[in-house]
Structure 1
Amino acid sequence: MTDLTPGPLPEQSDEPDTDKKLNTWFSGRVVRKDLTIKLKGSNNVPVYVLEYLLGSNCATDDESLIEEGVIKVKRILADNYVRPDEAELIKSRIRETGYYTVIDKITVRLNEKRDVYEAEFSSLGIKEIEIEPETIRRYEKLLGGGIWCIVKMEYMSEGSRSPFVIASLKPIQIPNMDINELIDRRKYFTKDEWIDILLRTVGMEPDTLDYTVKWHLLLRLVPLVENNYNLCELGPRSTGKSHVYKEISPNSILISGGQTTVANLFYNLSLRQVGLVGLWDVVAFDEVAGIRFKDKDGIQILKDYMASGSFARGKDQINANASIVFVGNVNESIQSLLKTAHLFAPFPDAMNNDSAFFDRIHYYLPGWEVPKFRPEHFTMRYGFIVDYLAEYLREMRKRSFSDTIFKYFRFGSNLNQRDTIAIKKTCSGLLKLIYPDDSATKEDVREILEYALVGRRRVKEQLKKIGGIEFYDVNFSYFDNEEGTEHFVTVPESGGSKLIPEGMTKPGQIYSVSRNEEGKIGVYKFELQVIPGSGKYEKSGLGSNMKAKESVQTAFNYFKANAKSVSQSISTKERDYQLHVQDLMGVGISEELALPAFISLCSGALGKPVHESIVILGTFTIGGSVSIIDNLSDLLQIALDAGAKKVLIPISSAGKISVVPPDLFSKFQISFYEDPVDAVYKSIVLS
């Protein structure tokens, strides 16, 4: 498997050969990114607005011309960009001169009562400005969230609802983009050079980033280049999760706060207008914890759209191509989150209770592997004008590169249809970004395939925690068509999260897996302290759960009555036993604790440990009757995830084995027990 683990940082290049090549082959299509940073600091406009102006005036490597261009751009921004605190001054200029050109974000709505379209200027603060229907037909995005434009305004004090008149309007974007030019000239750059150019285009300096991080930042662009791509990225703050969708492309929209309506997102029945998914290439939800729909069926419609790219409103079935992106923050360590919950936990409860919703996500990008950005992470070198890249990405949405995988590889048996679709989409998107000229070699495709498999497996690993046995098939692999060999991929963060350690444990230390009263399955650790005394029995870690306390008390009583059946050497009256139970997954204490507690007491009393990596399943009643296990598959899956290699199962539940997937059952050494005393003999190392 390709090594994607962080390695040493490469040395900074003294001679920016890539910059020279970029200016040679893409003259007029590139800009020096330090200029963007310089202007961005004092102007609250998206990067693509700044670089549209810089590209028109500074697309050269001639320092004197760059200096002149920057001065011109500063003058344009000073004179025409509308700052909210200067809105009244600009309105006055329009009135006094009769006309004026402004740069502002324009949003349009249909006033159905007057049967006219009316524009609202974001910073200028004026509303109800009539706009020609022809302009709306040409630029439909004005209706869905608004777009930045250069607008020539006129002033007419009579005969109009508003004295302000739109004389002409032009969205801020490159007027034409020859996609074949970019594809044809890709061959003049190596893979690493091209990746670095893409990263510099979005403002990052690749020389300061680990190899894995570069791939994560590229993956953020896939929703812009691939239709109906569903991406989730959760991680720490200040890692730029929403930057691409807010600043880089005029074809994406970021829903801040996460609150929206079905009418806004999908279709307004009263106006018979399609919502954001029909107007934008990407709809991104910022801060997933705040996602709220005012409509009860909002999440269900979103789930259906993520699965099929279509949704039903009224009598109509409507198709759209927008990708859906979820970004948000994780406020605790990943290892802690993996032990106590799952990686989708920051989502709202309405989504967390529906595993099928998360199954629609094609890739889970591990935001915790992206560093918090510092000044040195931002590039001062050349990259494409972001709008040039954005138009390329939009054009490439019409093409698919997913078939490239099957020239060299085929999928393993654990991938279902949704997994296959997800992997193909990720691979197609990355191939479009890095190898648009279809120049990828077998090893290039392998690298992308493995990266795609890891991101989708991360989704399935979490679904397994949420939905249990339904999602047990997570051992993703692919076959090499030429060699016939099977290759497996692993998820990096899963390796260190085993709850049950390898090696021999202390006497009295037991691990059990069982379901609590709420139906949640947990892993429980039993630890016993045996000291000289008079036969006292104490328990801790059970909180206020009376049924759990009764279960442990059953174990104490059974131990006192049957200890001699285990061994004559056990003393029940001359020693004190202090038993502590720990809920390792934080799901709440179980009531099925009698058997593991009894084995813990026997193990501690004998001073002999249980077998390595063994888990105890089952419990018994006060009379010693062993209960039948109804959910064996789910318990075994959790035991496997926790690190168990051996499992103790009641013989009365042997009939349940037929419903356990063979791949899962084969992972364990299985021992059956008839009664609690037999369970002690089967679990403790007696020799």
Structure 2
Amino acid sequence: MAEPTLNALDRKITDVFPGYTVRKDLVSAVKGGALVPTYVLEYLLSKYATTTDEASIESGVERVRSILADNYVHREEANLIQSKIREKGRYTVIDRVQVFLNEKTDQYEATYSNLGISRVIVDPQTVKDNPKLLVTGIWCMSTLVYAFDEGSGEVPWRLQRLMPVQMSHDDRENYVAGREQFSDGEWIDVLMQSMGFNPDQFSERAKMLHLVRMIPFVERNYNLVELGPKGTGKSHIYSEFSPHGMLISGGEVTVAKLFVNNSTGRIGLVGFWDTVAFDEFAGKAKKAGKDLVDIMKNYMANKSFSRGVETLQGEASMVFVGNTSHTVPYMLKNSDLFEELPTQYHDPAFLDRIHFYVPGWEFDQIRSEMFTDGYGFVVDYLAEILHNLRDIDYGTKYSEYFELSPTLSTRDKDGINKTFSGLMKLLYPNGQASMEQMEALLRVAIEGRKRVKDMLCRIDATMDPVEFTYTRRGNDRALAVETLEEKDYPELYWRDRDLQTDGAEAVVEPEEVRGHTVTAIGHTTADRPDVQTPEQSGNSEDNAEPAPFIGRKEFKADQRGVSYRKLFGPHLAGATEITLMDPYIRKPHQLRNLAEFMDVLLGGITPGDQIRFHLITSLEKEPYDEQQLEGLEYLRGAYGALGIMFTWEFRDSIHDRKIDTDTGWQIVLGRGLDIYQKFDNNWLNPQTKHQILRRLVSDFGVTYIYNAGK
């Protein structure tokens, strides 16, 4: 295992929090094929590999591997483990355990998920000490005993000892004291690394949005929605980050499972978990019973629920994550940012209870370089700290310096206060922050609630718009907060309203983002040198748009002055469905060619519109096929956020190279897109940015055919 170089932050966090940190790349090193949450693996690593000494790490990792090999139950090996328990009499396993009360025998019985056994006799005290066993089960290290008695007729399985994967003590005092030794930027990076991410790969805004995802773990009864493209890690933190979180499918929950079972009187998920997250919540075709929606609305508003006579309380935060199928400008032009939600939840009464809308489209698709090999908190340690910080409320700490607009409703203020409180606990757990530090968090909190309310006013015409502004104490000037999509697409965002903000004054962005253009996917252009805009690819030179040409054009080897925009621009104008067939979109430079072709398509998109672009190519040979797939997936996410709905398919035996459009054009490509000679791909090289400076690799021709009847 390669030893990463410790940077200053790694040295600092391991010095300040000895025994509570772990090198984050170790999880993937030990996981193998084990379908175990990250917090389970880090629980084991925290026992054997919380050190910076490479030799100790190596031996610790081997110890954890050995434990996983001997004790983690793979489903296909369940019979083997059952045999080991029988032959040895007792055996320790790592598995997910759930307990049920058998009313006929008046005893508790456990079911082991991977081991595939049930009716394991459990001592009542074990259930009393671990009530979550009765809800959805928890990951445990447990010792099972096999004691068969032929004459008794009893089940032979017994649970002798159970150790939940979670910390047993509150270390807040040490945690808060240690935080004081870090600057704000360092602490944010510590939290990013604790989530497993490399902070160098993210802008300051992207880091802050990642922290918002953590608020449900540190703030009681917090209601969060995140909608965005696939593959951006929306649900990862709710399934992997904390033993106090539960991720369930949005279509598989019932009132009895979520709130209370009337037949047994047993409370559901909201009574046992800090965070209940609904994965794949979006989808207009999904259905939910009216009783579930009604009780959920009441719970989200009042922290209570009732089925029958008794009113019960719950502290679980509710998180709803789902995928969008359209770009932001398309949604703003044609519907609203909640358009993907099922009909029952696309309801003003439900949506008004949401405290923060995380703009999922601002997250990049997850890539390997985003993960860190540095040190962060053992997630179980951090999860327990956040769990205990839920007892504190910092929601009105900002009132010493700021006052919210009086036009805001009670629910608007509640959403802002709870988000602010959560961010304060994450960044300033002692509750002490300066005016400038609080203002940055307050603006984030206001923006997240504003995104909800602005869409509500669009959905429900009877809802009165409010001013998302605030004033500094001693100053009457109202300071406005805008969402990023409001800045990017003002005409679409305020399509039915006046663009003016009632005289409120905008606030200048902080130094970190000045001088950079913020893109639609949440990073500055300085963060994204590998994704080109039309200006970067040289297409901006071809200002003159010639009329579409019918016939054939010939090009010579070593010729300059040829760009994709000159070759294809006039013929692609107005097309909304485009298919490219080219067998050679496989290697890195060919993927760059594809990106530059998609830049040409970008020039034909009006905000709010979309182009469907389909690629037919061949699959690269192993082992380079993974690199090809990662590149295509990256382009799908990056350009999908800008209005190009990119899909692809592989065909084994294709030779033709052509472009077909829904406007009747077919362009037959002699060499496909791979027309340029190799050049130094350094970003300082002008050929990298200007296609017309590159030389053609060989003679080739392009034929333009128009089918007027298409």
Fold shared by both chains (TM-score > 0.5): yes
1:395 shift after superposition = 0.2
Q: Match of 2:66, SS?
A: helix
What's the counterpart of residue 316 of structure 2? 322
Task: Specify whether residues 294 and 459 from structure 1 end up closer, same or farther in structure 2 by C-alpha distance, changes over 3 A only.
Answer: closer
Q: Secondary structure at the match of 1:273?
A: coil
Question: In structure 1, what is the Cα distance between the partners aligned to 2:289 and 2:322?
Answer: 22
Distance verdict in 2 for CA 1:53–1:90, change over 3 Å: same
Q: Is 1:33 matched up with 2:24?
A: yes
- Which residue of 2 is the match for residue 5 of structure 1? none
Q: Deviations over 1:520-547 (max 9, x none)?
A: xxxxxxxxxxxxxxxxxxxxxxxxxxxx
Q: Which residue of 2 aligns with 1:429?
A: 422
Shift of 1:294: 6.4
Structure 1 stretch displaced more, 255-264 or 20-29: 255-264
Where 2:396 maps in the other structure, the secondary structure is helix
Alignment of 1:435-450 (within 5 A): 435-450=428-443
Q: In structure 1, give the amino acid aligned to 2:50.
A: A
99, 104, 122: which one aligns with 1:108? 99
- Number of paired residues? 494
Amino acid in the other structure paired with 1:243: H
Alignment partner of 1:271: what SS?
coil
Equivalent residue in structure 2 for 1:359, among 341, 352, 355:
352
Structure 2 residue 293 is matched with structure 1 residue 299: yes
Out of 460, 477, 489, the position equivalent to 1:485 is 477
Return the letter of the residue paired with 1:47: T
User: 2:365 matched to 1:372?
Assistant: yes
Asked if structure 1 preserves the Cα contact closer than 8 Å seen for 2:330 and 2:609, the reply is no
1:393 aligns with 2:402: no
Q: How big is each residue's C-alpha offset from its partner over 1:292-315, in whole Å with a ceiling of 9 and x where there is no partner? A: 676431100001000010011211
- 8 Å CA contact 1:259–1:292 kept in 2: the answer is no
Deviates more, 1:248-257 or 1:356-365: 248-257
Aligned partner of 2:174 in structure 1 is 181
What is the alpha-carbon root mean square deviation over aligned residues?
Answer: 2.1
Seen in structure 2, the aligned counterparts of structure 1 residues 242 and 209 have a Cα distance that, compared at 3 Å, is: same
Structure 2: distance between partners of 1:272 and 1:278: 12
SS where residue 270 of structure 2 aligns? helix
The match for 1:68 is 59
Q: Letter of the 1:207 partner, please give it.
A: D
Pairing partner for 2:212 from 213, 219, 237: 219
Counterpart of 2:253 in structure 1 is: 260
Q: Structure 1 114/439 Cα, relative in aligned 2: closer, same or farther at 3 Å?
A: same
Counterparts of 2:106 and 2:464, CA distance in 1:
53
8 Å contact kept, 2:329–2:609: no
What is the CA-CA distance between 1:108 and the residue it aligns to? 1.2
Match of 1:228 in 2: 221
Q: Note the C-alpha offset of 1:43.
A: 2.0
Contact 2:22 2:375 in 1 (8 A): yes
Per the TM alignment, residue 257 of structure 1 is displaced from its structure 2 partner at its CA by 4.3
Counterpart for residue 641 of structure 2: none
Aligned partners of 1:138 and 1:480: how far apart in 2? 49
Question: Offset at 1:260?
Answer: 1.1
C-alpha displacement at 1:45, in angstroms?
Answer: 0.2
SS at match of 1:204: coil
Q: How far apart, CA to CA, are the structure 2 residues paired with 1:131 and 1:204?
A: 40
Given that 1:261 and 1:293 are in contact with CA atoms closer than 8 Å, whether structure 2 keeps it comes out as no
Change (3 A) 1:438 1:53: same
For structure 1, the residue ranges without an aligned partner over 5 or more in a row are 1-12, 503-510, 514-583, 587-687
Once the two structures are TM-superposed, the CA of residue 498 in structure 1 deviates from its matched residue by: 5.0
Return the alpha-carbon distance in structure 2 between the equivalents of residues 29 and 334 of structure 1: 41
1:557-612 superposed Cα distances (whole Å, 9 cap, x missing partner): xxxxxxxxxxxxxxxxxxxxxxxxxxx999xxxxxxxxxxxxxxxxxxxxxxxxxx
Write the letter of the residue equivalent to 1:489.
Answer: V
Give the C-alpha shift of residue 351 in structure 1. Answer: 1.6
* Distance in 2 of aligned mates of 1:341 and 1:294: 22
Write out per-residue CA displacement over residues 619-643 of structure 1, whole angstroms, 9 at most, x where no aligned residue.
xxxxxxxxxxxxxxxxxxxxxxxxx
AA aligned to 1:87 is: A
**1:88 and 2:82 correspond:** no
Tell me, in whole angstroms, the C-alpha distance in 2 between the residues paired with 1:66 and 1:300: 52
Separation of aligned partners in 1, 2:493 and 2:120:
68
Determine if contact 1:363/1:426 at 8 Å carries over to the other structure. yes
Q: Secondary structure at the match of 1:289?
A: coil
Cα deviation for residue 38 of structure 1 reads: 1.5
**Aligned mates of 2:122, 2:286 — CA distance in 1:** 33
Which residues of 2 match residues 228-627 of structure 1 at below 5 A? Answer: 228-289=221-282, 295-352=289-346, 354-473=347-466, 475-497=467-489
User: Which residue in the other structure is 2:116 paired with?
Assistant: 125
Which amino acid letter does the alignment assign opposite residue 73 of structure 1? V
- Greater fraction helix: 1
Report the counterpart of residue 675 of structure 2 in structure 1.
none
Letter in 1 for 2:70: D
Identity %: 44
Which residue is equivalent to 2:195? 202
In structure 2, the residue matched to 1:145 is 136
**1:116 shift after superposition:** 1.9
- What amino acid does structure 1 have at the position aligned with 2:340? P
SS of equivalent to 2:476: coil
Q: CA deviation at 1:126?
A: 0.5
Q: CA deviation at 1:90?
A: 0.2
3-state SS of 1:268 partner = coil
**1-structure distance, mates of 2:137, 2:240:** 14
In structure 2, distance between residues paired with 1:190 and 1:401: 20
In structure 2, what is the equivalent of residue 193 of structure 1? 186
How far the C-alpha of 1:40 sits from its partner, in A, is 2.9
Aligned residue identity for 1:404: K
Q: Are the structure 2 counterparts of residues 91 and 143 from structure 1 closer, same or farther at C-alpha, using a change threshold of 3 Å?
A: same
Question: What amino acid does structure 2 have at the position aligned with 1:485?
Answer: R
Deviation, structure 1 residue 41: 4.1
**Residues of 2 paired with 1:62 and 1:362: CA distance?**
44
Cα distance change, pair 122–501 in 1 and its aligned pair in 2 (3 A): closer
Larger Rg: 1
Q: Select which of 147, 164, 168 maps to 1:156.
A: 147
Q: Kindly tell me: are residues 418 and 161 of structure 1, through their superposed partners in 2, closer, same or farther at Cα, counting changes over 3 Å?
A: same
The whole-number CA distance in structure 2 between the counterparts of 1:144 and 1:512 is 47
More off after superposition, 173-182 vs 417-426: 173-182
SS of equivalent residue, structure 2 residue 479: strand
1:45–1:14 Cα change, 3 Å: closer
1:218 maps to amino acid: L
Contact map agreement 1:253 1:282 (CA 8 A) in 2:
yes
Report the Cα offset of residue 70 of structure 1.
Answer: 0.5
**Alpha-carbon separation, structure 2, partners of 1:57 and 1:247:** 20
Q: Is contact 2:333–2:492 with CA below 8 Å preserved after alignment?
A: no
Distance 1:343 1:86, change over 3 A: same
Question: CA offsets per residue over residues 634-676 of structure 1, 9 Å max, x none?
Answer: xxxxxxxxxxxxxxxxxxxxxxxxxxxxxxxxxxxxxxxxxxx
Distance in 2 (alpha carbons) for counterparts of 1:117 and 1:512? 60
Kindly indicate whether the alpha-carbon contact (under 8 Å) linking 1:351 and 1:357 is maintained by their aligned counterparts in 2: yes
User: 3-state SS of the aligned residue for 2:256?
Assistant: helix
Matched with 1:23 is 14
Cα pair distance change 1:469/1:293, threshold 3 Å: closer
| CA displacement at 1:238 relative to structure 2 | 0.9
User: Is the 8 Å Cα contact of residues 262 and 293 (structure 1) preserved in structure 2?
Assistant: no
Cα pair 1:414 1:477 within 8 Å, conserved? no
Q: Deviations over 1:435-461 (max 9, x none)?
A: 012231100000000000000000011
CA contact 2:24–2:374 (8 Å) conserved in 1: yes
